[in-house]
Structure formats: C-alpha cells, structure tokens
Amino acid sequence: MSVERNDESVITRDLRALRDTKGMADPERTVFWMERVARAQFRGRGDTMGAAVQRVAADLGAPVSQAKRCWDRWKEMKHVAGSVMIPFMLAYEEMVQRNEAAIREYRAERQELRENRHAADLERAQTGVGGCSAHYTRWRRHGDPLGGGTSIGAPLQWLFDHRDYDGEGCLIWPFGTDATDGYGRVQYKGVNTTACRVMCIIAHGEPPTPKHESGHSCGCGHLGCVHPKHLRWLTRSQNMMEKVDHGTDNRGEKHYAAKLTEGDVRMIRDLRGRMSQRDIGRIFNIHQVRVSDIQLRKEWAWLV
C-alpha cells in the first residue's frame, strides 16, 4: 500500500471520489486512513493493529465489523461503504489540527522566552554590564560584575602578604575552611592543602621530610590560625603529643565514633581474669577481640 502525505488536497480528493462513486470508497484509501488513526492508538507489545482499528472504529461510531473486514481483506475488495472511511478520515484531520495547535503554542512559548532574553540583554547593555550570566548575577546582587566572590589566587597571595606578621594573638584564616576540622584550605602548586602548612612553607621553608606536619604552639589550628610565629615543623608523633597538651586531640571518648568511656576501659581491664572476654564483650556491646586489645593495651594504651 502506498503511503501518501495527508493534507487538505488529499482529503478533498477522497471526498470527491466518494461523490463520484455514490458513497462507495476505495478499500486501499480506507485502509490508508485507518492506519493513520490506529497507529496513534497502538499499545505496543501484546496489541495488534487490527485490534487498534476495531477500538477506534467503536469510538468513532463506525461499523466495527465492516472496518475489521476492510482491514483484513482490503486487497480482495473492490469497494467499501463510505461510512467506514469518513469517520477515520475526519478523525485524522482532527488529530492533525490538535498537533498543529500544540506546535503553535510551543512556538509562542519559545518566542516569549526569546523576547525575555532579549529584554535582559538590553538591560545589560543599558547598565554597561557585559560578560556571561554569572557576571550579570553578581552585578545584580553586589553592584559589581566582579563582586561577591574570591578572585583566583587571592587566598595564596594573602599568605605571602602576611608571611612576616608578628602581631599578638592568632592570625585567623579569612577564607574557606574545612567543615570537618576547621582548618583553612588553599590551592598550592596544584594541590588542595591546609593553609597553615602553606604558611609554614612560606615562613620557614620546606619541611624536613614530606611526612612532617605543621604544628601550632597556640593549639588553635582547628580555629583557623595561620600565624607564622605559631607554626613550626613537627613529626607526626610530636604533633599528636602537642595536641594532647593543648587538649585538642580526638583520642579516646573524644572521638566521634567512640563506643566506650575511660571508665568503661578501666572496668574492662579490672575484669581481666575474673570474667571471660566474650562475656565482657556482651556487657559493653563490643567484640571479644577488642576486649583482648584493651586488656593487652593495644588499644587505649595511653590511659593509665
């Protein structure tokens, strides 16, 4: 069956053919309209075009039995009643009109968006603000297309500017900090690291080894202190002991995931030899291996 483009001329031609044949339609043309309408109602797997044609015929008030016979045996038929073809033809015309209306509505919405964008561009031009939408947003919020943010390189330059700072009290990092520990963060040589470490490098030179850490004599690293006089290179163990002296360590029950208190640990050690490790673990809701490590001072070794 040939496929033709459906437009007003095709509909007019088929209606004229009906008049010339006294209301009898061409079976091929009838199936042509049936297929166009039924395809929109086809449900996919488990459905058939024949069933879709019958459903559409019932909805349109067309004779279902004649529509089914025409769909199945149109090649054997010479004529079919016009009452079968006309409902499908008019239904397809209505469907096309709905689609065209939806297209017009979509185009109108697109035109409105373009006009709004054009109005925004005119406002930018009138106010002298160029650049991308981010610059325009900053201008609307802060009155300056470059306002409202930290320029690239400003945090690192701030460290260099304060390398010789010798004021009293801590020098607090004014830029971004790590939400988990409070230490300032900065990009240095392509690596995101702590601001206090970079300040220690700037003020005191490179660390003796890559494992050395920047220690705070003030104990305020978690508050963002980057005072160059408060910083010095320490080993990991030295830094940890200094944190203990300052009370800023997170060992023992200070740790966010701690399940035991210092009193619990002392009691676990006191019960050694008087109760099995498995029973002790049940009391404190920990594994027997942890009980053993605590009693052998593999864990909480610092607790006297």
Residues 20 and 105 both lie in one domain: yes
Classify 105 as helix, strand or coil.
helix
Q: Which of 118-122, 197-201, 275-279, 293-297 has the lowest mean pLDDT?
A: 118-122
CA distance 93 to 90: 5
Tell me which of 149, 173, 188 is where a domain ends.
Answer: 149
pTM score of the predicted model: 0.46
Residues 159 and 281 both lie in one domain: no
Residue 262 sits in which domain range?
Answer: 257-295
Residues 37 and 55 both lie in one domain: yes
Q: What separation in angstroms does the CA of 237 have from each of 110, 149, 241?
A: 65, 39, 6
Mean pLDDT of the chain: 84
The CATH number that applies at residue 160 is 3.90.75
Indicate the number of domains in the chain.
Answer: 3
Instruction: State residue 184's pLDDT score.
Output: 92
CA distance 193 to 210: 13
Tell me which of 149, 183, 201 is where a domain ends.
Answer: 149
Residues 91 and 21 both lie in one domain: yes
pLDDT tens figures, 154-186: 899 999 999 999 888 899 999 888 888 889 999
Query: For residue 273, what are the contacts with CB-CB under 8 A and spacing of at least 6?
Result: none
Residues 129 and 164 both lie in one domain: no
Residues 244 and 191 both lie in one domain: yes
Residues 88 and 142 both lie in one domain: yes
Residues 139 and 158 both lie in one domain: no
DSSP secondary structure letter of residue 5? -
Residues 57 and 104 both lie in one domain: yes
DSSP class per residue in 247-282: T----GGGSTT----HHHHHHHHHTBTTB-HHHHHH
Residues 286 and 205 both lie in one domain: no
pLDDT tens figures, 222-253: 889 999 999 999 999 999 888 888 888 878 88
Q: 3-state SS of the chain: helix, strand, coil percent to 5?
A: 55, 10, 35
When pLDDT is cut at 50, 70 and 90, the band that residue 2 belongs to is very low
Q: What average pLDDT score do residues 268-272 get?
A: 92
Tell me which of 90, 125, 149 is where a domain ends.
Answer: 149
Residues 121 and 173 both lie in one domain: no
What are the contacts of 17-23 at 24+ separation with CB within 8 A?
18/82, 18/85, 18/86, 21/79, 23/81, 23/82, 23/83
Residues 29 and 101 both lie in one domain: yes
Residue 290 lies in a domain: yes
